[in-house]
Chain A
Amino acid sequence: MSRPDRMRMTRAEIVARLRRDVGLSRTDAVDCLETVLTTIHRSLVAGDDVRLTGFGQFSVRQRAGRMGVHPATGKPVEHKARRVVIFKPARGLKELVDQPSAAPVEELSANSQQDSEQP
C-alpha cells in the first residue's frame, strides 16, 4: 500500500484462496478464517500451546518484570512482568524458507532494515 515492497498477504488473499480451493462462499471463507484465528487466540489466552504439525508451534512464555531507563529523561521506568506469544517454526517450514529456491538473500537484506517497523 504505502510502498511497493514484496508480496504482502492479508486476510483478503487468504479468503480468495479459500473460495477458489475449498469452494466456500465469501461469507463462509471470511467466517472460517476468523474462526481459525480466534481459536488459536483463545487457546493462547487460556495458556494452552497450539502445535500445528509441519507449520510450527505457538506458545506463551512468562517475561519477568525489570527496571528500565527512559532514554530521554534518564528516569527509571518499570516494565511489568507479562506473558508473550512465541512462535517456533516447525522443521518443515524452516527448511522451506531457507532453501536455495526461496527468494534470494541479497534482496532481502536490502529490505530488512526498512521492514523492521510496520508501515
Chain B
Amino acid sequence: MNRDDLVHILAVARGLPKPASRDVVDAVLGCVEEALLEGGRVELRGFGSFSTRIAGAYTGHHPQTGEPIPIPDRRVVVFKPGRALAAAVADTVEVEL
C-alpha cells in the first residue's frame, strides 16, 4: 500500500473528495514530522509512538577502500509499535515463501 492507496481508502470510507482526503493524510503525517522536528514524541495509543534518540558516533569504513570514515552523533527516528498493533501482527502467518 502506498500514499495514494491510503488517500483512496480514506476518501471512500469517509465519503471525502480526493483532495480533502489527501489533505488529511498530509496533515496527519505533517503533525508527526513537526513534533519530531521539535524533539517531541507522538503517542498514538494502540498504534504506536514516534520519538527520536541520539545514535552515537562511530568510525565506519569505506566498503571498497577500507578507509576509516568518522560518523558523527546524529538524531534518528524511532517507532515503537503499540500493544494492539504488535499483538495483531505477532501471530499472523507468513504468506510468501
CB-contacts of B6-41 with A (<8 A): 6, 9-10, 13-14, 16, 20, 23-25, 27-33, 35-41
Give the total number of A-B pairs whose CB atoms are below 8 A apart. Answer: 177
Within the complex, what minimum Cβ distance (angstroms) separates B92 from chain A? 6
A26 contacts the other chain (CB 8 A): no
A66 contacts the other chain (CB 8 A): no
Contact flag A97-B77 (CB < 8 Å), given A10-B44, A48-B1: yes
B76 contacts the other chain (CB 8 A): yes
* B13, A37: Cβ atoms closer than 8 Å: no
Within the complex, what minimum Cβ distance (angstroms) separates A50 from chain B? 5
* A85, B86: Cβ atoms closer than 8 Å: yes
Residue of A nearest to B80 (CB): A118
A52 contacts the other chain (CB 8 A): yes
Residues of B within 8 A of A98 (CB): 74-76
Instruction: Specify which of A35, A46, A47, A118 lies most central, judged by the most chain B CB atoms within 10 Å of its CB.
Output: A35
A70 contacts the other chain (CB 8 A): no
* B43, A8: Cβ atoms closer than 8 Å: yes
Residue of A nearest to B4 (CB): A53
Chain A interface residues toward B at CB < 8 A: 6-11, 13-14, 17-18, 21-22, 24, 28, 31-33, 35-37, 39-41, 43-56, 58, 60, 62, 82-85, 87, 89, 93-94, 96-98, 102-103, 105, 107-109, 112, 115, 118
Beyond known contacts A32-B14, A87-B77, A105-B54: 14 more, CB 8 A cutoff: A6-B40, A7-B40, A8-B41, A8-B42, A9-B35, A14-B27, A35-B9, A45-B89, A50-B1, A53-B2, A54-B29, A96-B33, A102-B37, A107-B39
